[in-house]
Amino acid sequence: MGSRIVVGIADYKLANAPDTLVTYALGSCVGISLYDAQAKLGGLAHIMLPDSSLFATGATEGRMKFADTAIPDVLGALVKAGADRRRLTAKIAGGANMFRAQGALDADGVSHIGQKNVERVRSVLGSLGIPIVAAETGENYGRTLFVDLESGKMIVQSLGRSTKEV
Amino acid sequence: MISTYSDLGENHIDALREIGNIGAGNAASSLAVLLGEDVHIGVPQVRIEPYENVIRSLGGPEELGVAVLVDFLGEASGVVLFILSMQDANRILSIMAGTPDADEEALTDMKLSAIMEIGNILGSSYLGSVATLTGMQIRVDVPRVAIDMLGAILAEPIAAYGAGENQVMFIEESFSSARSDLHSHVILFTEMATLAEIMKRLGI
């Protein structure tokens, strides 16, 4: 049995098989799992916002909050740990719009932070040339993610819904 | 001038605690009228903490909660959140509807809009008193509601108001009603610019 390694908000962790990476209760945040199936090595990041340039004064201390800075950092750390960049695949989940507004069913005027997070995660992964092999994003419910480093499978748990495995 | 949380001194924290006290006191009075029973508020807490601690202090990331979020804008911007358990949300609705049994079934759309309306009333009372105290013009947006894991619910306000630093400031209070044994939390998150403006208005 491997251990379960918890990834916090605006955080990332790397792990090898047989460990499992977990991040709890993603709402508008996005979880990004990068995995090298041959090395059975992976990383999981939990980002809050799309773009670090929104916060000019943020310096480097908050890089894990933002899609544009977190993903390259995780990639760099994985390569340093022995992953082959060309073998990496990504699975992403989260980016929900958690709140419903009265009389605003098309959600106009409410925050689209979840959607913007997903769009940015996709474009950053695209520009780094990492294929997205699974995505459980959007909708209006929270998700807890488990990434099994033995198989690379991502298990997505939500309240009152059946568990998904991708 | 306040530009980071570390600029907040004891006198600023006291002022925020007082804002929480008056705001939540007013909201509690509104809730007491809705429920027809006394509602007590705990001692307001002004906390500046890492993101995870906010969620942990309310029950943990995967705890099921009902939250009404009331955004405010104008001279002050931020959000007031009311958080309660599913059971208490159902119980409040039963009390207001005058039906004896609180059912545990999923909240229907009608119940959801009733909860949003409660949030609207409480949010307006809270923010109305903040506006009076500070002389700021504050507009209250339409309420929004979510029923899910607390971690997922709180992510958005934390991202919106805490992303500039590695922690987030919030004013938190707990409500309780003795007769029906109801408990809820009211939390205010706001922007740094609003904090600075509040202090300016209060002459601190």
- Interface membership of A47 toward B (CB under 8 Å): no
Each residue of A87-100: pLDDT tens digit? 999 999 999 999 88
The DSSP call for residue B101 is: P
Say yes or no: ipTM exceeds 0.85. Answer: yes
The DSSP bridge pattern shows strands B182-190 and B64-74 to be unpaired
Please give the pLDDT value at position A107.
46
Each residue of A97-133: pLDDT tens digit? 998 876 554 444 446 899 999 999 999 999 999 999 9
Task: Write the secondary structure of A3-58 as one string of H (helix), E (strand) and C (coil).
Answer: CEEECCCCEEEEEECCCEEEEEEECCCEEEEEEECCCCEEEEEEECECCHHHCHHH
Query: Which residues of A have a catalytic role annotated?
Result: 29
Please give the pLDDT value at position A126.
98
Each residue of A131-159: pLDDT tens digit? 999 999 999 999 999 999 999 999 999 99
Contact between B167 and B62 (Cβ < 8 Å):
no
- Interface membership of A131 toward B (CB under 8 Å): no
pTM of the model: 0.91
Mutate to test the interface with A, among B149, B166, B168 (most CBs of A within 10 A): B149
- Residue in this structure with the two tokens 């009333």, named with its chain if needed: B121
A41-60: average pLDDT: 81
The structural domains of chain A, with segments of one domain joined by +, span: 4-159
How many beta-carbon pairs below 8 A join chains A and B? 103
* Sign of the four-CA dihedral B122, B126, B127, B131: positive
Mutate to test the interface with B, among A11, A22, A24, A163 (most CBs of B within 10 A): A24
What domains appear along chain B, each with residue ranges and CATH number? 5-202 (3.40.1550.10)
- A4-159, CATH topology level: 60s Ribosomal Protein L30; Chain: A; (3.30.1330)
* 3-state secondary structure (DSSP) of residue B104: coil
Question: Which of the four pLDDT bands, split at 50, 70 and 90, describes residue A61?
Answer: low
Across-strand partners of B123?
none
